Amino acid sequence: MLRVFITLLIFLSCSSATKTDAFAAEHLSADVVVYGGTSAAVTTAVQVKRMGKSVVIVCPDKHLGGLTTGGLGWTDSGNKNAIGGISREFYQRVWQHYQAPTAWSWQDQAEFGNRNQGAPDSVGGRGTMWVFEPHVAEQIFEDFVRESNITVIRDEWLDRTKPGVTTADGRITSIRMLSGNTYSGKMFVDATYEGDLLATAGISYHVGREANSVYDEQWNGIQVGVLHHTHWFQKATDPYVKSGNPASGVLAEIGTEPPGKKGDGDARIQAYCFRMCLTNVAENRLPFPKPDGYDPAQYELLLRVFDNGWREMFGKFDPMPNHKTDTNNHGPFSTDFIGKNYDYPDGSYLRRQEIIHDHEVYQKGYMYFMANDPRVPADIRAAVSKWGLPKDEFKDNGGWSHQIYVREARRMIGHYVMTEHDCLDKTDTPNSIGMGSYTLDSHNVQRYITPEGTVQNEGDIGVKTPRPYEIAYGTILPKKNECVNLLTPVCVSSSHIAFGSIRMEPVFMILGQSAATAACLALEQNMALQDLPYGRLQERLLADGQVLELDVADQYTLSSKKLPGVVIDDRQAELSGQWQSSSANTPYVDAGYQHNDNDSTGQSTATFTAKLRPGRYDVRLTYSPNNNRASNVPVVVEHVGGQTMATVDQKLKPPIEGTYVSVGTFNFSSIGRVTIGTQGTNGYVLVDAVQFLPVK
């Protein structure tokens, strides 16, 4: 990576790019110009060619595929039935590749088995495979490009100054590279992780976390006070160089600024890392290198984590074929370089390369430290030393990925903004162009010192979606008054936490195909993208195998939108005291429930308030039973006649359809209110949803 860094310094100083393709032009025109080399860029270009239009991919990358070819071989997808079109075709090609005996260089196919694979389709006989080696993914994308005869201009960097994008009458007409080369088109697609084209074109965007108040969300803003995430410090850990002595200074990788107030917005972004491909096959293994700039003091905090008894460093060594892994961040101190990427989204090319370089040094140093430092417990050193970088991956970069995991950068503020309400099935999302279903997911954003004087991480969120959700056409469109011929299938218009679910590689590929379809149809009708009739777009997307609606919820979850009566979910309740989100036990309504962590001090309550038409209602509670639940949960119902108290035994299976327990039938005027408490309880108290069911 240092070599790349030095090369870029030279490149920026002379403002010229070196082409890796034989074809290079001072000026090139196409119906659709795609900027970026991600997986979405490839599916966009393939769909444009399949619809009979000309296309060129112009990208700063030398390797196509972004994270999909950069080590992310353990597909984060959610419900795989929601993945269609060219995106699904990619995973079918992965499956086809691994049917050949020659694909298994370091492992018998029978040993790997059928993990993360789908059965062959009834038509065509092709299955799907959702795990793969990086070089296999890259070859598939190159096959897509070759088969469709797509022109790819690599190592071309957009001039991000104002002259870099030429516009007229609300349309982009051409883009210019630092090399001086220009590319003209009728439609443009920004398929980068960073959103450089949309930003240079003057399109509105956001960086960081919006306050919860902006879109009336729960999970978007600063998340201090949320308890017991896997990637948080589970035991009190001292942050100071000399334990208990603040005057001694703070250990490396701990921030000293206040974290902010829960629910507020900030300009911070979730942490980046490299998705490492590792192997434990001795003949194919390169020992973890000691990077230039390595400083063991950077990992002192990790030693304290080990002293706490933590031994979960292999928790995300997800298995790939041929005894390889997709290794991701896991635990309180891991591969995520927390707080060191804030400048990346709007940073210059030089600043970004500095950040990428620092991440590489940190992460290589992290692995080298665990494998070699004598202060690391011997059992950890021995276990980590069995692993290393694969000789047969990323051969031009010493076995190290060419793509940092840009989990989030710029997000367009476009025609429609996706929020957690769309992802959690709390609103009807219009004009679907594809589906997402992954957990609302954010990695940690900062590491700070708590008021109690211990170190803690902040920002990690994992909220399950109740079912696959629709993604609106408007999320890939700028506002019409800003541009009428640009689409953004990666830096989509969404809140931070909604993007945390959308930002999966299969979804980017889906949105790339849909963006291409819209571009071609708008060209044929000579209209602005925002004016394209959705019915026409929907018809073509369905014909090309896209999945636009999948009304199949998880069999253990219920949708508050589809239950009869008035249903108030725990996310709408007024919570006081300490509550912890969970989805560990089923059934539940929407994305999960809250529990009090078996704290019976009486400090925690949950109040569910419903606006009702005057009348008589059966008041029901939902909860998932378990032997560790409280048998004496106090419930107070406020109604026309006053207050009624009841007690619920949450150890028992709810008597109504195994999901509901009735606490009585009451008359209400315009407001119904139910409060669930914890005082004096003898186990875990769950709050999930309250249903007000009209009684005739």
**Are the C-beta atoms of 500 and 202 separated by less than 8 Å?**
no
Query: For the segment 516-525, what is each residue's pLDDT rounded down to a tens digit?
Result: 999 999 999 9
How would you write 10-44 as a 3-class SS string?
HHHHHCCCCCCCCCCCCEEEEEEEEECCEHHHHHH
What's the token pair of residue 595? 């529990």
pTM for the model: 0.86
The Cα–Cα gap between 63 and 644 comes to 66
What's the token pair of residue 180? 């001086």
What b/e sequence results for 391-415 when a residue is b if at least 16 CB atoms lie within 10 Å of its CB, and e otherwise?
ebbbeeeebbbbbbbbbbbbbbebb
Sign of the alpha-carbon torsion through 276, 282, 286, 288: positive
Query: For the segment 11-37, what is each residue's pLDDT rounded down to a tens digit?
Result: 443 333 334 443 444 789 999 999 999
**Which percentage of the chain shows pLDDT scores above 70?**
94
The Cα–Cα gap between 384 and 530 comes to 53
The Cα–Cα gap between 390 and 49 comes to 36
CA dihedral of 591, 559, 218, 617, whole degrees rounded to 10: -120
Phi and psi angles of residue 637, each rounded to the nearest 5 degrees, phi first: -110, 125
pLDDT lower than 50: segments of the chain: 1-25, 554
Which residue carries 């912890």 as its tokens? 580
What's the full length of the chain, in residues? 696
Domain residue extents for the chain = 282-397, 557-694
Contacts for 116 with CB less than 8 Å, ≥ 6 apart: 74, 75, 129, 130, 131
Regarding the domain with residue range 557-694, which homologous superfamily does it belong to in the CATH classification? Answer: Galactose-binding domain-like (2.60.120.260)
What b/e sequence results for 129-151 when a residue is b if at least 16 CB atoms lie within 10 Å of its CB, and e otherwise?
bbbbbbbbbbebbbebbeeeebb
Residue 667 DSSP SS3: strand
What's the token pair of residue 360? 């590489």
The Cα–Cα gap between 569 and 329 comes to 32
* Apex 615 CA angle, 613 and 617, nearest 5: 100
Q: How many CB atoms lie within 10 A of CB 113?
A: 9
Which residue carries 């989805």 as its tokens? 583
| H or E element in which residue 380 lies | helix 378-384
Query: For the segment 646-687, what is each residue's pLDDT rounded down to a tens digit?
Result: 999 999 999 988 889 999 999 999 999 999 999 899 999 999
